[in-house]
Amino acid sequence: MTQSGAEQPAPPRSGVELRRSLGVGDAVVIGLGSMIGAGIFAALAPAAHAAGSGLLFGLGLAAVVAYCNAMSSARLAARYPSSGGTYVYGRERLGAFWGYLAGWSFVVGKTASCAAMALTVGAYVWPGQAHTVAVAAVVALTAVNYGGIQKSAWLTRAIVAVVLVVLASVVVVCLGSPEAGRLDVGVSGGAGGLLQAAGLLFFAFAGYARIATLGEEVRDPARTIPRAIPLALGIALLVYVAVAVAVLSVLGAGRLGDAAAPLAEAVRAAGVPGLVPVVRVGAAVAALGSLLALILGVSRTTLAMARDGHLPGRLAVVHPRFQVPHRAELAVGAVVALLAATVDLRGAIGFSSFGVLAYYAVANASAWTLSSAPAARVVPALGLVGCVTLAFALPGVSVVVGAGVLAVGAAAYGLRRWWAGRGSAGRGRATGV
């Protein structure tokens, strides 16, 4: 299906569809809930450490790559409005293996990201019992998702509102402080530091994919998805630029790079220590919002892969009352809870970033096939090159582990295909065919 002619949206490969109940506003809120989360509270410090005064340039580069990915995802989601996102797009445009590899990258990478968000909640709420709080957060939000997509959308809307108020307070306090004046724009970290910062900051932009993975649950997806994705991305970019400028103005790149809790440190340096607890609560709420939307996205991709036989078929069941993939959600919740109880936060974030960039590389390659017109291929080409570049600019451990896990997934796919072919050949001999 790589021709560029008009096509009808591809239906789900099972007889049961999810309920289409989300409009543009709901989809934008879910995307914002995924993006404006713990990333902005945590990613600025390591990015500043890598890029120094080039932090804002790194943010801009991450936004350009994210924009290309968003446009490719929007075009593909309008053509294929079913749950699964790039798993479906890769399967339909590039072939079964590439769809599987995208789905594998997303499920594994974002499951690690779920654990990272849960651990962020624990670190802010109760540092001494971070793992226990993280597991409790996963259990609670899995129960919310089980109750239906509209309940999730309403909770996400409330979380986004709280986080935006907290971030606005940080911006106002920092820019209005007598200490503001340390903003330095340059490239002191060099090209390598700039690329690594962009890769780290891309983690904070990646949530718009959640809109695409919910393609089977939005009303009029051909119109809703292409509008919701760039809207969510644009709002997130404005928020990130304002926060980054405000924090840099107070702390400077050097002090920001060494901060364990950069936004809390910024308001303290601005002379308003009373706002620190509010920022900590805001960070925890933001991480909860990200975790909620992440569990939604991972469970929907799990549903799509189960429909196609790449994961156990039992995970493709849709609840007859709530019309959600309840078994997929419970399975994802169980795995995330296990990771949240055992893994390290830094390792989870690094591995997640590599997996997400691999996922979007497949999305851009899929969008490349939608049209043979050179102008239509510019954005997906830039997105593909950007994803590969940022992925391999990440810390070495993240690259090695991420590439290894992708290789394991590819090997599992090949083994399954070989086993299926062997079984078919055996049945053919038994019947004399």
| Of residues 278 and 206, more confidently modeled | 278
* 279 assigned to some structural domain: no
At residue 312 the predicted structure's pLDDT band, cuts being 50, 70 and 90, is confident
Q: Is the pLDDT of residue 430 over 70?
A: no
Which range (182-191, 319-328, 389-398) has the least confidence? 182-191
Contact criterion met (CB below 8 Å) for 214 and 149: yes
Exposure of 338 in the CB half-sphere (CA atoms within 13 A): 7
User: What pTM does this model have?
Assistant: 0.78
What does the pLDDT look like over 366-385, one tens digit per residue?
A: 999 999 999 999 999 999 99
Let me know the angle formed at the C-alpha of 243 by 238 and 244, rounded to the nearest 5 degrees: 100
Contact criterion met (CB below 8 Å) for 65 and 204: no
- Give pLDDT, residue 408: 93
- Give pLDDT, residue 275: 93
Q: Is the pLDDT of residue 197 over 80?
A: yes
The whole-angstrom separation of Cα 406 and Cα 65 is 21
Stretch 118-144: mean pLDDT: 86
- Give pLDDT, residue 10: 44
Stretch 219-241: mean pLDDT: 81
Structure tokens at 69: 């990915």
Phi, psi of 22 (to 5 degrees): -100, 130
Specify whether the backbone of 258 is left (phi greater than 0), alpha (psi in -120 to 50) or beta. Answer: alpha
* 331 assigned to some structural domain: no
| Of residues 274 and 125, more confidently modeled | 274
What does the pLDDT look like over 287-297, one tens digit per residue?
A: 887 787 778 77
* 319 assigned to some structural domain: no
- In this structure, how many other beta carbons lie within 10 angstroms of the beta carbon of residue 429? 9
Structure tokens at 323: 């019309």
* 68 assigned to some structural domain: yes
- Give pLDDT, residue 6: 39
The whole-angstrom separation of Cα 288 and Cα 430 is 55
- Give pLDDT, residue 5: 39
- Give pLDDT, residue 82: 67
User: Can you list the pairs that 240-244 forms with residues at least 24 positions away whose Cβ atoms lie under 8 Å?
Assistant: 240/40, 240/59, 240/63, 240/201, 240/204, 240/205, 241/56, 241/59, 242/167, 242/171, 243/40, 243/44, 243/167, 243/170, 243/171, 244/44, 244/55, 244/56, 244/59
- Give pLDDT, residue 294: 79
Contact criterion met (CB below 8 Å) for 18 and 100: no
* 401 assigned to some structural domain: yes
**How confident is the prediction for the chain on average, in pLDDT?**
82
* 224 assigned to some structural domain: yes
Residues paired with residue 22 on neighbouring β-strands, in sequence order = 218
- Give pLDDT, residue 49: 86
Percent of the chain with pLDDT over 70: 84
When divided into structural domains, the chain yields a total of: 1
* 50 assigned to some structural domain: yes
Of 85, 151, 119, 92, nearest in space to 360 by CA: 85
- Give pLDDT, residue 242: 94
Sequence-distant (6+) residues with CB within 8 A of 432 are none
Range of the domain at 201: 24-110+149-268+344-370+377-417
Structure tokens at 249: 């103005």
At residue 286 the predicted structure's pLDDT band, cuts being 50, 70 and 90, is confident
* 360 assigned to some structural domain: yes
What are the strands, taking DSSP E only, across 169-284? none
Q: What is the CATH number of the domain that holds 175?
A: 1.20.1740.10
The whole-angstrom separation of Cα 420 and Cα 134 is 40
Residue entry with tokens 């991420």: 402
What does the pLDDT look like over 96-121, one tens digit per residue?
A: 999 999 989 988 888 888 888 888 78
Helix, strand or coil for residue 218? strand
